[in-house]
Chains A and B, each alone.
Chain A
Amino acid sequence: MKTPSREWTQLAASAAALTDSKFLKIVELFERIRHEPGIAEAMGMFRPRLVELRPPRRITASRLFFLPVEDLLDDLERYQRKLSRVCRATIDPCWRIVADGFGEKRLAKLERTLLETDSHDVSAIVRLGEPLWKEGSRALGKALDEAETNQKARIALFGRDDDVLRQVAVTVAVTDIGAFLQEVKSKLPDRPIQTLAEFHVEVLRSAIKELAQDDIRRVTPFLLVLSARMLRPGDLLAVLGDTRLDGYQQEKDEMAREVGVFALENLLRQSGDMSKAMGEGAAAKEIASIAERLLDGFDSMKTTLQRPDQKAMVKRVDRARAVISDALLERVINPADQELLGHVNRLADSNLLRMGLDEPTFPTPEEIGKAEEFARAYRRCARIAPLVGLKSEVQEKTADICRTVRKVSENLGNVARPARGPVRVDPAVADEQFVSMLRLIEIIAGPDEAETLLTDWHERIGDLPKPPPLNPWGDD
């Protein structure tokens, strides 16, 4: 009896509670039956955790074929039409055609070889993938031609949806340059690519030139894939702009426009991630990271946005920026004092400490670690705040937090080195706690502010006792 899809999905969802190693074993079991109905959908639930764990995954022939396309793949619920991306649901019909064309025997041999191949060995992967990509692309191209002229064949191969044909066309174009693309990708930084070094720019330039010389139409799929790997897709378009393609100026401009629009549309699509993250109560770290990715992406696309035909796009980008701004304010800036200093706020209340009514309780290492993580998210948020009109909000909040820490410094100093009465807190412990707080101040307000507070603290607390050295001969 076949297991219904819903049960696979439930099983996949329950794997979330497992430890990493057990989770990976479940993933492996799903992998083995990945072509069963309902499995692909259930496996979508594993993806976010797999992205984080990055386990060495066994590469199958079908995964090998779609390797060049992987940056354009979207899950069913995230997929949006007409963005030159490929929905994972399209993988199966495509693979059936590719596998048929490649032949059962050759495929079985390839699967066996892949079993013994390290998926990180780029040259082996390219060597094994090259015939599959070339022949697969050709077979898919043929099927696409047939589908475009024969309605019956089209329904049998890809269904009735026009958009599936567009996705297949993207797959054909990308796998056609599969080997070339994989080699270039292996020389570039990990995705998402933040910045490019001179070496990477040179790799990209010579790749664009080589493809253009061969066939200028091959440059667009190349750029499409790589722009999807970049945090600032505009940087890739800048590389294209700086690359001399003699005789192809018009094509180059058209490509830049086309890829630019796709990249922007893709960023706008991703701005939905922010609403989703807000709805799911994501941590400040995640909110800041999505905001950074989107704002940096938009920032890099200035050239495309400045085109006279992109006024509507500018308005959509502004709306996305407003959503990001609200999210940053709500999840990072407003709760910053509580998140950073919630665990030490009682130390700011001098009355409680002075009256001896309250013993100072210090944060645990876990609390400090969490606060530092928040501080780094806050800093990232502060960097992009001016791009969404939140500069003054960040400045005010930072100043508030610094004031509180100054107060804590006074109170802590008073109980660790009291002018009168007994010492209520070991000065060494107080110092350790205060340095932890200073690290938070350093991250959010910079080292100058932290150093000023440190100097005041040293004046207040004086020299700390040094631990005695060990005596090898005991008391003698």
Chain B
Amino acid sequence: MSTAVPTTHLGIIQGRPSTFAERGVCVPFTTPILAQARIGMDRYEQLECLLPGFSGGKGTYVFSWKTVPEVIKITLHDRALHKEILEVGANSPDTIRTCALTIAARGFAGLAAAHQAKQALALDQQYVVLTNYVFVLELLKLVGVSTPDLLKTGLGTEEARQTAKNALNQVAENFRIAPDVLYGRVEELSLQLAPVGLPQAPRPGRLRSLVDRLRTFEKSVLDWGAVETTEASGLASFIADCAQQTVGLAETKLSRLDKLLKKTRDVVVGNNKVSAEVDSTVTALSWLLDGWEYICQLWEDSRDQSEDMQRIAICEVFRIAPVIPSEELAANETFDMEDMKRVQRRWVRGNQDWRTGGMDYDAVRRIEQLKAKVA
């Protein structure tokens, strides 16, 4: 199994990353060469940019984050995003996502992407509200108040609110904590759990839905690879394997999380171990699934296009695929990564503007169109 060799500020990483932190977080840049580049922390706790297959190169290139605009000519959107990330100090999937949506919402990636970003930001808040409601309903059950009880007078009425409040006060009393502490804790948990959502929620959370989408993606890529006549079929097998491993790990984590969430009292108060495990599982899920939404969309969009476009999509997916870090791999590496990277490089085409050193804005537009479909 090949292991990653981290470098200092500038260099190349070969092979699989060892950990999720070393894999870094995807940044939805619109500059084609930087699309889905990753951000990580170097050994001095400074942000660094990890760029796979830069200029058709073998490994993952590493730059200091600050120097990205000096190293590569990037779009205005990416300059704004780069600055936002630096100012916020974002380095996790959730914080990077918020930065990206904030910048896209201002229109830097076009009107359609702005619309999508605003909706996604609003939806994120709605998920927090939804999670909060479902959580409260679970707590109310503990003192014998059910949803039909609240619905009797209408969910939005003052009477229902009062009933809920009284019941929650009773829960707080049973838990031996002050009601305000209970409210605060529920709010905190709702924020934390909203990306995954509760299993009993009427709508699955963003990450829970992504696992389903990834399952469909894996099958689709596998089927494509089975009938592909060129060497790109090998890349498809690797990508499908990568997706399958991710789905496997995600399912294990989701089932563990759902089991933990059944222990409502432990999660809400008192049991630090349970609470810490909930926190770490949600965080692990967001790191594990980071980057896959863009890939699923990229592949789905290519399905009704020509075979050539599908091969281009497969090569791009291979370049940016969120590989499982070696520490998390269930079995030894069965793919010859170096050989596959060689195959992928053989499919890289130049674009017209490269000849004049400019930016290919038709390629930028394609990424922006994709962005307009990804939350």
Contact of A470 with B107 in the complex, beta carbons under 8 Å: no
Provide the residues of chain A in CB contact with B350, threshold 8 Å: 195
Q: Is B231 engaged at the interface, CB distance under 8 Å to the other chain?
A: yes
At the interface with chain A, which of B15-23, B32-40, B123-131?
B123-131
Please pick, from A187, A195, A432, A450, the residue contacting B349 in the complex, using a CB distance under 8 A.
Answer: A195
Q: What DSSP secondary structure best describes chain A's contact surface?
A: helix
Chain B residues with CB under 8 Å of A199's CB are 230-231, 346-347
- Inter-subunit contact A446/B359 (CB<8 Å): yes
Closest to A434 in B: B107
Question: For this complex, into which size category does the number of interface residues on chain B fall?
Answer: 35 or more
Contact with B133, one of A202, A365, A439, A472 (Cβ below 8 angstroms): A472
- CB neighbours (8 Å) of A365 from chain B are 111
B231 near A469 with CB under 8 A, answer no
Check: A273 CB closer than 8 A to any chain B CB.
no
**A195-B352, A368-B111, A450-B76 given as contacts; is B309 within 8 A of A432 (CB)?**
no
B306 at the interface (CB under 8 A from A): yes
B289-324: contact bitstring with A at CB < 8 Å (1 yes, 0 no)?
A: 000000000000000001111000000000000000
- List residues 438-476 of chain A with CB under 8 A from any CB of chain B: 438-439, 442-443, 446-447, 450-451, 454, 469-470, 472-474, 476
B190 / chain A contacts, CB cutoff of 8 Å: 472
Contacting A at CB under 8 A, from B136-183, are 161, 183
Q: A194-B352, A195-B352 are in contact. Are A472 and B76 (CB under 8 A)?
A: no
A369 at the interface (CB under 8 A from B): yes
When the two chains form their complex, are residues A442 and B75 in contact, meaning their CB atoms are under 8 A apart? yes
Please report the C-alpha to C-alpha distance between residue A368 and residue B112 in the assembled complex, in whole angstroms. Answer: 11
Establish whether residues B229 and A376, one from each chain, have CB atoms under 8 Å apart when the complex forms: no
Give Cα A78 to B3, complex, Å: 60
Are A432 and B74 touching (Cβ within 8 A)?
A: no
Beta-carbon contact of B349 and A436 below 8 Å: no
Please state if B347 and A447 are interface contacts (CB–CB under 8 Å): no
| A113 located at the interface, meaning its Cβ lies under 8 Å from any Cβ of chain B in the complex | no
Name the distance in Å between A125's Cβ and chain B's nearest Cβ. 12
Instruction: Answer whether A472 and B129 are a contact pair too, CB < 8 Å, given A194-B349, A196-B349, A443-B361.
Output: yes
Which residues from A are CB-within-8-Å of B307? 120, 122, 186
- Check: B217 CB closer than 8 A to any chain A CB: no
Pick the contact of A189 from B107, B187, B308 — CB < 8 Å? B308
Taking the complex as formed, is B108 at the interface, i.e. its CB lies under 8 A from any CB of chain A?
yes
A 171-200 binary contact with B (CB < 8 Å = 1; else 0): 000000000000000111110001111110
Q: Are A432 and B346 in contact (CB under 8 A)?
A: no
Within residues 389 to 440 of chain A, which ones have a CB less than 8 A from any CB in chain B?
Answer: 431-432, 435-436, 438-439
Closest chain-B Cβ to A299's Cβ sits at a distance in Å of: 10
Q: B336 contacts the other chain (Cβ, under 8 Å)?
A: no
Residues of chain A within 8 A of B351, CB atoms compared: 194-195
Complex contact A197–B347 (CB within 8 A): yes
A443: B residues at CB distance < 8 A: 361
Q: Does A25 contact B (CB under 8 A)?
A: no
| B365–chain A nearest beta-carbon distance, Å | 7
Q: B133: shortest Cβ distance to chain A, in Å?
A: 7
Contact A190–B309 (Cβ < 8 Å): yes
Question: Does B58 belong to the interface (CB within 8 Å)?
Answer: no
Instruction: Flag if B73 contacts A447 (CB, 8 Å).
Output: yes
B70: Cβ under 8 A from any A Cβ: no
- Name the CB-closest residue of B to A469: B125
Q: Using a CB-CB cutoff of 8 Å, which residues 70-105 of chain B contact chain A?
A: 73-76, 79-80
Residues in A whose Cβ lies below 8 Å from that of B356: 383
Quick one: given A186-B229, A189-B308, A195-B349, are A451 and B107 in contact (CB under 8 Å)? Answer: no
Q: Would B229 and A447 count as touching, CB distance under 8 A?
A: no
Q: Which residue of chain A is the closest to B75 with respect to CB atoms?
A: A447
For A355-389 the 0/1 string (1 means CB < 8 A from B) is: 00000000001001100100010010001000000
Q: Which of B111, B132, B347 contacts A436 (CB 8 A)?
A: B111
Q: Known pairs A198-B345, A447-B76, A451-B76; list 19 more (Cβ under 8 Å).
A: A122-B307, A199-B230, A199-B346, A199-B347, A296-B352, A365-B111, A372-B110, A379-B361, A435-B107, A439-B76, A439-B108, A442-B76, A470-B122, A470-B125, A470-B126, A470-B128, A470-B129, A472-B190, A476-B161
| 30 cross-chain CB contacts under 8 A | A186-B229, A188-B308, A194-B349, A194-B351, A195-B350, A196-B349, A198-B348, A199-B231, A199-B346, A202-B346, A292-B352, A296-B352, A368-B111, A379-B358, A432-B107, A435-B106, A438-B76, A439-B76, A439-B108, A442-B75, A442-B76, A443-B361, A447-B75, A447-B76, A451-B76, A454-B80, A469-B125, A470-B122, A470-B128, A472-B187
Chain B interface residues toward A at CB < 8 A: 73-76, 79-80, 106-108, 110-111, 114, 122, 125-126, 128-129, 132-133, 161, 183, 187, 190, 229-231, 306-309, 345-353, 356, 358-359, 361-362, 365
Chain A residues within CB distance 8 Å of chain B: 120, 122-123, 186-190, 194-199, 202, 292, 296, 365, 368-369, 372, 376, 379, 383, 431-432, 435-436, 438-439, 442-443, 446-447, 450-451, 454, 469-470, 472-474, 476
